[in-house]
């Protein structure tokens, strides 16, 4: 699980004039009011991996997700590979093949649950929902590679091909109020 924490707050000067600023004219000459904001307080939002972005956190933690459906229980070992983040899982090597699509899904779910930072509840049928809170707002790879004649795993379309759908929170831009 990715941990988020913020550093100490710091204040910077941010003069924002309500009518813009033209360096050839002074505020007094135009009768403009004082800047509407003179300072803003920032704080770094950091992930446990050290990456940081200036912004505010919004919402609660929701995982990045992807769905894989097992479609052929008798898949041939060595002709399929499921890539979840930095890990590669192969049927018959990293998890048992099984006698039915549901059993294959259960075995794949157990293998994914053993991966650090990923979870996959035991599926009720043959569809697995894989999730991770590691790297929320970042790109987490998900791929199904097959070299055999028959397809055994179907990756449901995600927002961006090859990546899990993004979770939250994602550091946003600073809010100046």
Which residue, 17, 32, 54, sits at the end of a domain? 54
**75 domain residue, yes or no:** yes
pLDDT band at 64 (very low <50, low <70, confident <90, very high): confident
Residue 68 sits in the same domain as residue 127: yes
Which residue, 27, 54, 81, sits at the end of a domain? 54
Residue span of the structural domain in which 116 resides? 64-155
Residue 68 sits in the same domain as residue 98: yes
Cis geometry, peptide bond prior to residue 47 (ω within 30 degrees of 0) = no
Residue 68 sits in the same domain as residue 120: yes
Residue 27 sits in the same domain as residue 104: no
Paired sense of beta strands 127-132 and 44-47, if any: unpaired
Q: Which helix (H) or strand (E) holds 29?
A: helix 27-30
**40 domain residue, yes or no:** yes
Residue 33 sits in the same domain as residue 113: no
Which pLDDT tens digit goes with each residue over 67-94? 999 988 888 888 899 999 999 999 989 9
> What total of structural domains would you count in the chain?
2
Contact 97, 75 (CB under 8 A): yes
Residue 28 sits in the same domain as residue 69: no
Region 4-8: mean pLDDT is 61
At residue 125, the pLDDT reads 86
**170 domain residue, yes or no:** no
Q: Is the pLDDT of residue 1 over 80?
A: no
Burial class, 34, CB count within 10 angstroms (exposed 0-12 / middle 13-18 / buried 19+): exposed
At residue 106, the pLDDT reads 92
Q: Is the pLDDT of residue 60 over 60?
A: no
**176 domain residue, yes or no:** no
Tokens 């941990």 appear where?
A: 3
Residue 13 sits in the same domain as residue 77: no
Q: Is the pLDDT of residue 58 over 50?
A: no
Alpha carbon of residue 37 to chain centroid = 34
Which pLDDT tens digit goes with each residue over 107-157? 999 999 999 989 999 887 899 999 987 655 567 889 999 887 778 899 998
Alpha carbon of residue 38 to chain centroid = 35
pTM over 0.75: no
pLDDT band at 165 (very low <50, low <70, confident <90, very high): confident
At residue 176, the pLDDT reads 47
Residue 79 sits in the same domain as residue 27: no
Q: How far is residue 10's CA from residue 165's CA, in Å, rounded to a whole number?
A: 33
Residue 21 sits in the same domain as residue 97: no
Q: How far is residue 139's CA from residue 44's CA, in Å, rounded to a whole number?
A: 21
At residue 177, the pLDDT reads 43
Lowest mean pLDDT among 11-25, 108-122, 159-173: 11-25
């Amino acid at each position: 699980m990715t941990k988020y924490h913020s550093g100490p707050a710091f204040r910077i000067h941010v003069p924002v004039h309500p009518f813009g600023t033209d360096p050839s004219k002074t505020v007094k000459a135009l009768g403009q009011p004082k800047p509407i904001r003179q300072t803003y307080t920032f704080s770094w939002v950091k992930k446990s991996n050290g990456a940081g972005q200036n912004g505010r956190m919004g919402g609660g933690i929701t995982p990045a997700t992807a769905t894989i459906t097992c479609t052929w229980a008798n898949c041939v070992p060595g002709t399929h590979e499921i890539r979840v983040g930095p890990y590669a899982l192969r049927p018959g090597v990293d998890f048992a093949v099984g006698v039915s699509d549901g059993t294959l899904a259960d075995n794949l779910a157990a293998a994914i649950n053993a991966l650090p930072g990923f979870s996959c509840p035991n599926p009720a049928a043959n569809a697995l929902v894989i999730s991770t809170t590691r790297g929320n707002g970042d790109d987490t790879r998900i791929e199904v590679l097959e070299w055999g004649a028959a397809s055994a795993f179907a990756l449901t379309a995600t927002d961006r091909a090859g990546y899990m759908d993004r979770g939250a929170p994602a550091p946003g831009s600073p809010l100046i109020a």
